[in-house]
Structure 1
Amino acid sequence: MDMRISSTTASPIGARPAARATGGTQEAGFSSALKGALQSVSDTQNQSSRLQTQVQLENPNVSLEETMIAMQKAQVSFQAALHVRNRMVQAYTDIMNMQV
């Protein structure tokens, strides 16, 4: 499964911006942290794909060991993102099932 993010992703309708610029600084929030983490996962997967392509093209500057490590890093980061997503869905479900 791939979680690559294009650089021109549009926010959902009605969504607030992740961070507001205030005097040259950005207000950090959960959504910006999550977006940064997903971007990191995407970058790791893209790097892994580039290395795989270079190994397949028999580029002498790219080692198989380096490629395998990049692939494992991409897999671990994706699995971590998947676990975070599952926990968030579970928390949302728990909150929605609470009686008020």
Structure 2
Amino acid sequence: MSQGVEFNRLMLEMRSMQMEAMARNSALVTQPPQVNGPSFADMLGQAVNKVNDVQQNANQLATAFEMGHSGVDVTDVMIASQKASVSFQAMTQVRNKLVQAYQDIMQMPM
């Protein structure tokens, strides 16, 4: 039952992140382009750094659990590990799409 509650919490968190991203996207569509906004490279770098932070957190929790530190539950370790895995897979898919888009552009006739 605890796993079901944790799964539901994770799903709610993912849905809220999706709604937040959709709200940002709709706000960007209605607003004129900003000159001083962050560059694509900065945003991509921040996303990679966030994935790295999630993975580091998962590794620290796993190490603390393996060492037997009190207050570290196996469910927390597994959830952190799954978050790290999902975020890495998502980043990999974004990278694949970027590479494919680059290849498509390079194959366009001039």
* TM > 0.5: yes
Q: Do structure 1's residue 32 and structure 2's residue 42 form an aligned pair?
A: yes
TM-score, normalised on structure 2? Answer: 0.66
Hey, what does 2:54 align to over in structure 1? Answer: 44
Equivalent residue letter for 2:54 = T
Task: Identify unmatched segments of 5+ residues in structure 2.
Answer: 1-35
- In structure 1, the partner of 2:87 is 77
RMSD of Structure 2 on Structure 1 (CA)? 1.0
Q: How does the TM-score come out when normalised to structure 1?
A: 0.73
Separation (CA, whole Å) in 2 of partners of 1:34 and 1:70: 22
Distance 2:93 2:37 in 1: 26
User: Aligned partners of 2:72, 2:103: CA distance in 1, in Å?
Assistant: 46
Provide the rounded CA distance (Å) in 2 between the counterparts of 1:29 and 1:82: 20
How many residues of Structure 1 are paired with residues of Structure 2 in the alignment? 75
- In 2, distance between residues paired with 1:34 and 1:80? 13
